[in-house]
């Protein structure tokens, strides 16, 4: 096989200079990813960057306490039934092991401080690894460019910044190592060691994230192409044996953790979770390629590439078709397609599941330009350049295929831009190197002029990706100088949520089962799905729905939306009672399922806009004829986020109570009003008013959710209840015990003059 190789200097093994360059790349990348530390280490405590990080910390803390135990079924997920976290445990278990080695066991705060540094360390390792891979395969010049680009590329920095404790940073590193192993295999496809490394890297990727089956599938395509491109039968047999070894190694690593695993939601053959699908996916090629390697020892069955392609199709295709005949496998494949194409309701509203050229509302290039730079439009030219070089080096062809495939995946879902960013940086470095080599032998002035022209064209296109870094640097500089740091909008929202969850933790009865499996919690919290991970970790209370969406249970996901959309309190109360909900956390998004507004008299509007009291609500159809909404009798406001300028509080926390049942006499058919003035922090007030109509027998009944004495909440009554009807006014004191227990309270008689 004829191969083009770099010059004599590039053929040398990496020396001290290259290791120094790798160390410099690591240090620079770590510094860039640590610039946002003021948003993580805040005066109010540690703040993680992404909601998913809070559930990773939940599992990390669990494993630190009971290492090597992992939290496979969490009673604090999908309350009250409990749920199975869909993430594989390798990432969290590795951090837990590191925390124990560092002596952080028994100190949750120390575990948190260690965990927030894992993403920038892994991200910086990825940048250094990218340099070493590019240096080894394409040359030092390509390595320097690739590392420099990846160091500042927001698509990679975002997932590897300090405080973003999430498995996706490890996915990018795993994909980089898998690509490096593939480069080794295409260079020496008949050696066994590169095949073993490919198998190890594939197993690690799947162990970190089941979605990495996309990367493993790309690797399998490269291996298959290498076998089919063999010049003769003997070479094909040796390559097929190596591919069988690669799959066998991955199978042996992964099967003990996946085989026989059954999921309540996903069954036992879904690619979206670690299940029996992955061992099947890896095991069939072991048999298929192994059979081909054995059959091709003689020349009869492999005289031509067509014959070998037919043999591979039979050896792999028939078992695959038989496997797909199983209903569980078909269901798993359909689930995967639904997830990737975002055709199910939950993925349609997840930001990282949005296409690269979309902001959720319209097609736009802004997100792609900020994440990957406008240089992205040069990708087709780079792919053509890499493809044109494939006759000289199989590695160029491999990189072109890998880059194009991951770009296509990013077009479907933004999350894949994380691992695409590595391929994109490598493609830029390799493309620049190819262009420079094309000028070999030209006059120095021509080469220098071409370099200047390329820099002049590229640098302005890279400027959009530097905006975020400039802001991060300004924030870090002000923090170092002791100046006030102005938090961005997303951090302000996060602070409000953490404050609400902290209040809930400190002012509500603790629940069982936080750190002991098998103990059922006493009650749950209902809120928007996007707030669930934070509420659970900070408040240490179980939640009905969270950032897993319907992946851990579609019933709870649907019930949450029905609760917030319910047109009357009784219907909502029935849902909350069935789910064991005691507290409801409300914000503008309601359940968070869809951007459409809720109906005028829905529970969400009455909780968020009216704050639980009665009032008139304008409708879009009749803005001049507001509709009256009665007060809520079983939901009482106990916490509200501070005002921000002219805006009302972001979060409102309600406690569900039985309500004191006040019964008394009034004129038949008369309207009875009960009102209570409640004062909150600062100038916050709530004038609660509830109404009832006296019966024909002259009896009225009111259910009141607030006592006239102190209770566990921000609000406090300024005096007794005022009960009024037809000019008759009376005062009534209601005890907290009566509100909690639903006790019947004798109301004042309003049948005569006051």
- Return the pLDDT at 631: 96
The arithmetic mean of pLDDT across residues 261-288, rounded, is: 89
Q: Closest Cα to residue 475, out of 26, 40, 116, 29?
A: 40
Helices and strands, number each (H, E), in the chain:
29, 16
Contacts of residue 548, defined as CB under 8 A and 6 or more positions apart, other chains included, come to 77, 78, 83, 85, 86, 532
Instruction: Please give the Cα distance from 544 to 524 (Å, whole number).
Output: 6
Confidence at 305, pLDDT banded by 50, 70, 90: confident
Measured CA to CA in angstroms, residue 108 lies from 113, 248, 296 at distances of 9, 39, 58
Quick: pLDDT tens for 704-717: 999 999 999 999 99
**Averaged pLDDT score across all residues of the chain:** 88
The arithmetic mean of pLDDT across residues 285-303, rounded, is: 80
Q: Closest Cα to residue 86, out of 48, 57, 56?
A: 56
Q: Closest Cα to residue 419, out of 387, 464, 466, 372?
A: 372
> Between 548 and 262, whose confidence is greater?
548
Quick: pLDDT tens for 665-701: 999 999 999 999 999 887 789 999 999 999 999 999 9
Quick: pLDDT tens for 54-103: 999 999 999 999 999 999 899 999 999 999 998 999 999 999 999 999 99
Quick: pLDDT tens for 145-161: 999 999 999 999 999 99
SS3 228: helix
Contacts of residue 271, defined as CB under 8 A and 6 or more positions apart, other chains included, come to 210, 213, 277, 278, 281, 332, 333, 335, 336
The upper half-sphere exposure of residue 342, i.e. CA atoms within 13 Å in the direction of its Cβ, equals 18
What's the Rg (C-alpha) of the chain? 31
- Return the pLDDT at 619: 66
- Return the pLDDT at 3: 40
Confidence at 186, pLDDT banded by 50, 70, 90: very high
Quick: pLDDT tens for 6-51: 433 344 456 788 999 999 999 999 999 999 888 888 888 888 988 9
Give the lowest-confidence range in 240-249, 493-502, 614-623: 614-623
Contacts of residue 6, defined as CB under 8 A and 6 or more positions apart, other chains included, come to 138, 139
Report how far Cα 238 is from the mean position of its chain's Cα atoms.
42
Instruction: Please give the Cα distance from 670 to 664 (Å, whole number).
Output: 12
Instruction: Please give the Cα distance from 311 to 297 (Å, whole number).
Output: 13
Query: 587's torsion region: left (phi>0), alpha (psi -120 to 50) or beta?
Result: beta
Confidence at 488, pLDDT banded by 50, 70, 90: low
Tokens of 321: 């078709």
- Return the pLDDT at 487: 55
- Return the pLDDT at 300: 58
Give the lowest-confidence range in 92-101, 531-540, 587-596, 719-728: 587-596
The arithmetic mean of pLDDT across residues 581-591, rounded, is: 94
Instruction: Please give the Cα distance from 224 to 215 (Å, whole number).
Output: 14
- Return the pLDDT at 741: 96
Confidence at 495, pLDDT banded by 50, 70, 90: confident
Measured CA to CA in angstroms, residue 738 lies from 144, 508, 657, 702 at distances of 72, 18, 10, 13
Give the lowest-confidence range in 261-265, 276-280, 338-342, 359-363: 338-342
- Return the pLDDT at 753: 56
Instruction: Please give the Cα distance from 736 to 745 (Å, whole number).
Output: 12
Confidence at 109, pLDDT banded by 50, 70, 90: very high
Cβ atoms of 661 and 744 within 8 Å: the answer is yes
May I ask the CATH class of domain 489-654? alpha beta
Strand partners, 692: 672
> Domain 658-746: which topology?
Immunoglobulin-like (2.60.40)
Query: Across 94-183, where does the E strand assignment appear?
Result: none
Instruction: Please give the Cα distance from 573 to 553 (Å, whole number).
Output: 21
pLDDT over 60 at 436, yes or no:
yes
Instruction: Please give the Cα distance from 321 to 309 (Å, whole number).
Output: 17
- What secondary structure, in 3-state letters, does 15-37 show? CHHHHHHHHHHHHHHHHHHCCCH
pLDDT over 70 at 330, yes or no:
yes
pLDDT over 90 at 301, yes or no:
no
Quick: pLDDT tens for 90-100: 999 999 999 99
pLDDT over 60 at 490, yes or no:
no
Confidence at 500, pLDDT banded by 50, 70, 90: very high
- Return the pLDDT at 504: 97
The arithmetic mean of pLDDT across residues 1-8, rounded, is: 38
Contacts of residue 689, defined as CB under 8 A and 6 or more positions apart, other chains included, come to 613, 614, 631, 673, 674, 675
Q: Closest Cα to residue 169, out of 221, 110, 117?
A: 117
Domain positions in the chain are 170-351, 489-654, 658-746
Q: Does the bond joining 68 to the residue before it have cis omega, within 30 degrees of 0?
A: yes
DSSP output for 277-346: HHHHHHHHHHHHHHHHHHHTTSSGGGSSHHHHHHHHIIIIIHHHHHHHTSHHHHHHHHHHHHHHHT-STT
The share of the chain scoring above pLDDT 70, in percent, equals 91
Instruction: Please give the Cα distance from 360 to 50 (Å, whole number).
Output: 19
SS3 618: coil
Q: Which residues of 593-620 are buried (b: 16+ CB within 10 A; e: fewer)?
A: beeeebebbbbbbbbbbbbbbbbebeee
The arithmetic mean of pLDDT across residues 114-123, rounded, is: 97
* 489-654 matches 658-746 in fold: no
Quick: pLDDT tens for 375-412: 899 899 999 888 887 555 889 999 999 999 999 999 98
């Amino acid at each position: 096989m004829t191969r083009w190789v770099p010059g004599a200097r590039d053929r040398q093994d990496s020396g001290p200079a290259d290791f120094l360059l790798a160390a410099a790349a690591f240090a620079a990348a770590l510094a860039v990813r640590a610039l946002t530390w003021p948003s993580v280490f805040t005066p109010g405590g540690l703040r993680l960057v992404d909601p998913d990080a809070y559930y990773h910390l939940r599992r990390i803390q669990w494993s630190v306490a009971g290492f090597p135990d992992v939290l496979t079924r969490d009673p604090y997920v999908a309350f009250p039934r409990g749920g199975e976290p869909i993430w594989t445990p390798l990432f969290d278990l590795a951090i837990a092991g590191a925390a124990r080695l560092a002596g952080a066991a028994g100190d949750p705060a120390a575990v948190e401080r260690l965990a927030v540094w894992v993403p920038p360390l892994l991200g910086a390792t990825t940048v250094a690894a990218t340099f070493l891979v590019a240096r080894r395969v394409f040359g030092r010049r390509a390595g320097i460019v690739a590392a420099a680009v990846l160091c500042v590329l927001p698509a990679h920095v975002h997932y590897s910044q300090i405080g973003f404790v999430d498995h996706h940073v490890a996915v990018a590193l795993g994909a980089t190592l898998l690509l490096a192993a593939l480069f080794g295999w295409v260079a020496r496809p008949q050696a066994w060691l590169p095949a073993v490394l490919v198998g190890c890297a594939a197993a690690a990727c799947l162990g970190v994230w089941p979605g990495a089956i996309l990367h493993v599938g790309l690797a399998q395509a490269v291996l298959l192409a290498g076998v089919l491109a063999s010049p003769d039968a003997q070479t094909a047999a040796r390559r097929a044996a190596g591919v069988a070894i690669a799959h066998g190694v991955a199978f042996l690593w992964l099967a003990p953790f996946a085989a026989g695993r059954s999921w309540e939601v996903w069954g036992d053959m879904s690619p979206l979770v670690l299940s029996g699908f992955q061992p099947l996916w890896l095991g069939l090629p072991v048999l298929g390629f192994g059979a081909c390697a054995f059959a091709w020892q003689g020349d009869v069955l492999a005289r031509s590439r067509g014959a070998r392609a037919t043999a591979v199709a039979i050896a792999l295709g028939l078992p695959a078709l038989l496997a797909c005949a199983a209903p569980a496998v078909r269901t798993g494949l359909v689930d995967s397609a639904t997830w990737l194409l975002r055709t199910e309701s939950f993925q349609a509203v997840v930001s990282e599941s949005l296409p690269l050229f979309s902001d959720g509302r319209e097609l736009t290039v802004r997100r792609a330009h900020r994440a990957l730079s406008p240089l992205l439009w040069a990708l087709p030219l780079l792919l053509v350049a890499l493809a044109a070089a494939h006759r000289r080096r199989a590695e160029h062809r491999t990189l072109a295929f890998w880059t194009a495939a991951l770009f296509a995946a990013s077009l479907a879902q933004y999350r894949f831009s994380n691992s695409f960013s590595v391929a994109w940086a490598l493609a830029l470095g390799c493309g620049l190197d190819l262009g420079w080599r094309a000028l070999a032998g030209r006059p120095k002035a021509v080469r220098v002029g071409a370099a200047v022209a390329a820099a002049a064209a590229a640098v302005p296109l890279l400027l959009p990706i530097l905006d975020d870094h400039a802001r991060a640097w300004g924030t870090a500089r002000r923090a170092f100088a002791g100046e006030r740091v102005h938090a961005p909008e997303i951090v302000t929202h996060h602070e409000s949520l953490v404050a609400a969850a902290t209040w809930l933790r400190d002012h509500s009865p603790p629940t069982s089962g936080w750190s002991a499996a098998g103990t059922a919690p006493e009650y749950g919290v209902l809120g928007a799905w996007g707030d669930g991970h934070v509420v659970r970790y900070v408040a240490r209370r179980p939640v009905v729905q969270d950032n897993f969406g319907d992946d851990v249970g579609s019933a709870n996901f649907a019930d949450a939306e029905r609760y917030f959309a319910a047109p009357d309190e009784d219907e909502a109360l029935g849902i909350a009672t069935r789910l064991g909900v005691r507290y409801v956390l409300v914000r503008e998004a309601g359940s968070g399922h869809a951007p459409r507004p809720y109906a005028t008299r829905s529970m969400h509007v009455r909780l968020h806009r009216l704050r639980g009291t009665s009032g008139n609500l304008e409708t879009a159809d009749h803005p001049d004829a507001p509709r009256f909404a009665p007060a809520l009798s079983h939901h009482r406001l106990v916490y509200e986020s501070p005002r921000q300028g002219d805006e009302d509080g972001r979060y409102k926390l309600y406690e569900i109570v039985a309500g004191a049942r006040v019964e008394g006499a009034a004129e038949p058919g008369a309207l009875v009003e009960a009102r209570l003035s409640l004062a909150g922090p600062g100038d916050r007030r709530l004038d609660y008013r509830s109404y009832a109509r006296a019966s024909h027998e002259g009896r009225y009944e009111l259910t009141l959710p607030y006592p006239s004495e102190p209770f566990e909440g921000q609000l406090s009554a300024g005096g007794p209840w005022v009960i009024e009807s037809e000019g008759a006014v009376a005062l009534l004191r209601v005890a907290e015990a009566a509100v909690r227990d639903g006790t019947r309270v004798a109301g004042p008689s309003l049948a005569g003059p006051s």
